[in-house]
Amino acid sequence: MDASQSVTIPTQTSLLHATSDASRSELFENRGFETARSLALHGAFVILACRDVKSANEASQKILDERPIAKVEVMPLDLASLKSVRYFSETYKCRKWPLHILILNAGVFGLPHVLTEDNIETTFQVNHLAHFYLTLLLKDVLISSKPARVVVVSSESHRFASLTTENINEDELSPPQSHYSHMKAYNNSKLCNVLFSNELNRRLLPLGVTTNTLHPGNMMSSQLARNWWFYKLLFTFVRPFTKSMQQGCATTLYCAAVPELQGIGGMYFNNCCRCQPSEKSGDVKLIKKLWEISVKMLNDRSFTC
């Protein structure tokens, strides 16, 4: 499905697109870039929030080369730094921009055990906690811009998460090196995406903000695999059966902008179709515990939301 053909965006719409950084050679094979490009070409005011500002400016220029009247802004945002997330939100609010669509697209995969400057395991912080913090800091902007949407990019990998109501705690979410598995960390972070999305929708739906989660599909050019040699090799063999970047961003575009989802949230999408997430995704106790632990981890580091 080419969801870009169904996108209808009023010209005043402001979109914040949080994306992970990529090298310059990978820049235009990035799902985040393709999503931003498609929305900008349809008239959205797109804010590219990226750690690598130089590459983001190149992406912005490429969009402008294709559509000179496109509205694209670049703002620095490093999800591996909670201080950067806070500074970004403060800067965004100072500009008095509305926020109609928030796309949480950034993700890392296959990393060795590395702690961020906040002393948190990187996969968990980048894939979940920083998104959690960013969204809560911008909550009032979303509400004042209603109707607004939050789109959370998760993965079918959430079905293989090991988190339960019995074992979820800070050490399980941000484990020490001795208990670290990059695959387990990724799967757990993707379940956190779905849990967070469902609870955010429950809290903000009455205020005019809907939240949906999606699996983008396995893309032939996806840069998630760049950190792990095995996946690079695997992608070489499965390339004929994977999605292009245009196909890979279709479900994101669908959740972000199709009119039929106006006012509808709390759903999980794959290939632009609603489907059932894992049973754990609806576990109220697990959702509550993740939210409480996430808030505590932020508060313990003097970051309030």
Task: List the chain domain ranges.
Answer: 3-299
CA 111 vs CA 114, 189, 265, 283: distances in Å: 8, 13, 32, 28
How far apart are the C-alpha atoms of 74 and 64, rounded to whole Å? Answer: 13
Is the pLDDT assigned to residue 61 strictly greater than 70? yes
Residue type, 156: E
Collapsing DSSP states into helix, strand and coil, what is residue 272? Answer: coil
To which H or E segment does residue 193 belong?
Answer: helix 182-204
Residue 236: predicted pLDDT: 54
Considering 133, 186, 254, 268, which one is annotated as catalytic? 186
Write the pLDDT tens digit of every residue in 166-224. Answer: 999 999 999 999 999 999 999 999 999 999 999 999 999 999 999 999 999 864 444 54
Residue 220: predicted pLDDT: 46
Q: What is the pTM of this model?
A: 0.90
Torsional sign, CA 53, 59, 61, 64? negative
Q: Name, in order, each residue with C-beta under 8 angstroms of 188's C-beta and a sequence gap of 6 or more.
A: 124, 161, 162, 163, 172, 173
**Architecture of the domain made up of 3-299:** 3-Layer(aba) Sandwich (3.40)
Token pair recorded at residue 198: 């469902």
Residue 254 annotated in active site: no
Average model confidence (pLDDT) for the chain? 89
Whose tokens are 């949906």? That residue is 212
How far apart are the C-alpha atoms of 164 and 264, rounded to whole Å? Answer: 28
Is the pLDDT assigned to residue 29 strictly greater than 80? no
Whose tokens are 């002393």? That residue is 119
What phi and psi values does residue 185 have, to the nearest 5 degrees?
-60, -40
Residue 293: predicted pLDDT: 99
Q: Name, in order, each residue with C-beta under 8 angstroms of 276's C-beta and a sequence gap of 6 or more.
A: 268
How far apart are the C-alpha atoms of 69 and 63, rounded to whole Å? Answer: 10
How far apart are the C-alpha atoms of 291 and 305, rounded to whole Å? Answer: 12
Residue 25: predicted pLDDT: 47
